[in-house]
Structure 1
């Protein structure tokens, strides 16, 4: 595996939501290796709390979580009235059979990364989603 290098541009504030502690740890290590600040949440409810208190450049959202799925979190986020409602959200899931990646756009996601996560795909997706201003790119399959 090639050595990880910080990507050019400003450091980003990223919220990663996943009920699996190992996934949280791996993604946190990737994000920090690329110079980004990572905040972890282990549930949808915890994610919404963070989003209500802090501004993030991008959210990485696991789809299958107990209690509140990633899809339900995005529905609540997009229906909110605060500025957080426009935060780019990238779907993370191993379930690439039941939904086509394009379906995540209709659900309110900005991008899609399949698990197991490939570092290059994840970082490319984050760069697209947190791109300059309103010029964010639509959903594309990364990973």
Structure 2
């Protein structure tokens, strides 16, 4: 499984990378939304993990760019990974095109559960 994690914090990327390695997944890191969008142009991913608060383009805007694509890459499952706890956050992320939202600090079971849900929905034809 190929995962792209768009996250500006190096330590957060490292923690998630270590978790994904346990499951045998390959993770590519992007330090900004802009870099993440370039990587999506050039590569294929099974799941995108996207932070919301980053310098430059934020995660909601990046998700909008991804979902605006007219190709299969615009339908890749997206899981928001955030420390933001705003009451309407989940609704805003889903409205922007995210499939799931999980919160930092990331717990392995929460990450794997969310990934399982979005992949199962994708296999059932509910995504893309």
TM-score (norm 1): 0.82
Between structures 1 and 2, the one with greater helix share? 2
The SS at the match of 1:112 is strand
Please provide the CA RMSD for this pair.
1.3
The alpha carbon displacement at 1:98 in A equals 4.8
Which of structures 1 and 2 has the bigger CA Rg? 1
Distance 2:39 2:89 in 1: 29
1:40 is aligned to 2:33: no
Gapped regions of structure 2 (runs ≥ 5): none
Question: Which residue in 2 is equivalent to 1:9?
Answer: none
The counterpart of 1:87, out of the listed 61, 68, 76, is 76
Q: Which runs of 5+ in 1 are unaligned?
A: 1-11, 137-143
User: In the aligned structure 2, how far is the partner of 1:54 from the partner of 1:46?
Assistant: 12
Aligned residues: 125
**Alignment partner of 1:127 out of 110, 116, 121:** 116
Is the deviation greater in 107-116 or in 80-89? 80-89
Secondary structure of the 1:48 match is: helix
If asked which structure has higher relative contact order (CA below 8 Å, sep 6+), I would say 2
Tell me what 2:19 maps to: 30
Task: Compute the TM-score of the two structures, normalised by the length of structure 2.
Answer: 0.91
